[in-house]
Amino acid sequence: MRMMDRYKTPKTLFVLAQANTFGMITLLQFVSGWVFVLTLLAMHGGIALFIVSKKHFLRLGRPIKRHYHLAYAFLALYLPVLGYKLLSRLVGFSQDEELVFVYVMAVTVLAVLAGVLNTIILFRSLAKLPHEES
């Protein structure tokens, strides 16, 4: 069995976590009611995938911290719009839907591009590391 096969599960989970979490957090900005709740639950499923994949990598003793921190940083870029939407509901002012749309799409494009680059760098760094014999 090839040594790189050891990374197949955590790599797959990492990619699925990014796709799910960024997709759902983007969708959260445009849905309401019970669809919002289902989307929120699905997004948290992506966060759970991040946790599981990270545990797999840590068990293999691989340095992956910076790759996860970068993914978390891009998730944090959605917080201002979530705060804006929450504040508009609490205070009662109307939201600028065009502003929300442009901001969310810009963050999503940036997050997807950064996520792809982050994943490529992670996979390359794993390929360069020496492998222990098991």
Model pLDDT for residues 65-92, shown as the tens digit of each residue:
899 999 999 999 999 998 898 888 889 8
Stretch 99-114: mean pLDDT: 94
**55 belongs to a structural domain:** yes
**87 belongs to a structural domain:** yes
- Distance between CA atoms of residues 72 and 53, nearest Å: 14
Percent of the chain topping pLDDT 70: 92
**16 belongs to a structural domain:** yes
Given a cut of 80, is residue 133 above it in pLDDT? Answer: no
The residue type at 87: L
Q: So what's the pLDDT on residue 130?
A: 63
How many domains does the structure of the chain reveal?
1
Stretch 32-45: mean pLDDT: 93
**133 belongs to a structural domain:** no
Placement of tokens 């929300």 in the chain: 100
Neighbouring C-beta atoms of residue 101, cutoff 10 Å: 13
Cβ contacts of residue 124 below 8 Å, gap of 6+? none
**121 belongs to a structural domain:** yes
Provide the residue range defining the domain that includes 51: 3-128
Q: Residues of 103-131 as b/e, b for ≥16 C-beta within 10 angstroms? A: bbeebbeebbebbeebbeebbeebeeeee
**124 belongs to a structural domain:** yes
- Distance between CA atoms of residues 71 and 78, nearest Å: 12
**33 belongs to a structural domain:** yes
**134 belongs to a structural domain:** no
129 — pLDDT class (breaks 50, 70, 90): low
